[in-house]
Amino acid sequence: MEIQAVKGTHDLIGKDALKMSYVESVFSAVATLYGYQEIRLPIIEHASLFNHGTGEGSDVVRKEMYTFNDKGGRLLALRPEFTADVVRAIISNKLYAKNDLPLRYFYHGPAFRYERPQAGRYREFNQFGIEAIGLDHPMLDVEVILMAVQAFTMLGFEHPIVYLNSLGDEETRKKYREALISYFEPLLPDMCEDCHERFKINPLRMLDCKVPSDHELALKAPKLRDYLSEESQKRLELARKVLEEEGIEYRIDEQLVRGLDYYGEVVFEIQVENQGNRLALGGGGHYGKMVKELGGPDLAGVGFAIGLERVMDAMEKEGLFANLDDSLDLYLFPLGKEALAKTPSLALRMRALGYSTLFPYEETKLSTLFKKAEKAKARYGLIYGENELKNGTVQLRDLKNQAQKEIAFADLEETLDHLLLDEEESHEH
Ligand code: AMP
């Protein structure tokens, strides 16, 4: 019986896995530049964490969460997102009492949502994200946006665009919610089933509806901007001002409410253009109440998450992985028994020097070895038989252009260092 992969999951193999590690490494490096530290968290949590933290009004929790009872009868969930997970860890470990605030953490790993699989949408997908918790300062919101933009720029995206909105403070959202209820109530009979549900739980979500006729109605709904307090307006203004000063392209998008319930004040999404289409690669925003709601102190937070598969798709389309190198440094070509006998220890030496190396375990024809070296994407070949062993030399072959020269064994390390280092540098530029 052939067992299939679970629907909505995907395997990342070889170069594809390398691509994901590369994107993670660039985001991690940029987060480190902003003083963030890594946090690694469980994939399974109590389902109630996401009900309370992520929010029962969100589609993610209402419809898409993977929940199950474990053998001890606990209702657990595979994390559908990380923010509630991070907040739980901060509370469980009392990190807010042991460290200067804000706490700054970055994470990456799989998240799970029972969505309808389609291009760029999986049931198990990977996110990179950051959370800064414990300081309610507008500059922190802005810095989080700048960090995301910097990472996208470092990956090679030329024009990441920030879509920006303010969801205001709690008081604002309460008043606005009432305004939305009055506006949508008479229209409800003509709206989709999801909107009926959203109307009951969180009418703000109705602004996000993708059904065209509902979207039309949402466009004419009262605007949150008319309800924003002076303080919230100032926060949004600061974000605009900094983005403008730094020459970062942004648009105010009043329909942007984000899919998760916990956001307030500044929210944002980062999009790139690809062949005329806009792709949302990630987003985030400020959240005021989650830490307290999950049993911690009254601390605000701000964060963002990007979908790694989405970013990889967009990079693929833009040719941004062209320089990603998955080649092997060396393939060893022992010719004859004596050469073969010396090969394992030569490979050991080469690996100890830091060169990725493969070699045959049995005597093998030269033509076969060439094929194997090609499949292994080997950059250089070391060919040696009886003569070379006798002379203390080796044939060093460039497997790209097939140029070959004999060099003394004693010069091997220096020669390889030059060749491979030069190549590494030219890849970086
Ligand atoms: P969210 O946690 O909903 O704010 O999502 C953050 C980012 O994760 C989105 O902008 C997407 O890039 C990505 N994402 C969300 N859901 C999925 C999914 N089902 N499959 C792949 N990527 C996803």
At 429 the pLDDT is 57
At 428 the pLDDT is 64
At 259 the pLDDT is 67
**Residue 32 CA to ligand 1 centre (angstroms):** 23
The residue whose CA has the least distance to atom 17 of ligand 1 is 121
Residues of the chain with pLDDT under 70: 259-261, 427-429
**Residue 181 CA to ligand 1 centre (angstroms):** 28
**Residue 306 CA to ligand 1 centre (angstroms):** 7
**Residue 414 CA to ligand 1 centre (angstroms):** 47
Give the chain's end-to-end CA distance (angstroms, integer).
49
**Residue 112 CA to ligand 1 centre (angstroms):** 10
The residue whose CA has the least distance to atom 12 of ligand 1 is 307
Q: What are phi and psi of 382, to 5 degrees?
A: -110, 115
At 344 the pLDDT is 98
At 386 the pLDDT is 95
At 273 the pLDDT is 83
d(CA 287, CA 194): 25
The residue whose CA has the least distance to atom 23 of ligand 1 is 307
pTM attached to this predicted model: 0.91
Helix (H, G, I), strand (E, B) or coil at 270: strand
At 86 the pLDDT is 98
The residue whose CA has the least distance to atom 18 of ligand 1 is 121
The residue whose CA has the least distance to atom 21 of ligand 1 is 121
**Residue 270 CA to ligand 1 centre (angstroms):** 12
The residue whose CA has the least distance to atom 11 of ligand 1 is 307
Protein residues whose CB sits closer than 6 Å to any atom of ligand 1:
81, 113, 115, 121-122, 125, 127, 259, 280-283, 305-307, 309-310
Identify which of 61, 113, 155 to mutate to test ligand 1's pocket (most ligand atoms within 8 A of the CB): 113
Q: Please name the residue ranges forming H helices in 186-289.
A: 193-201, 212-219, 230-245
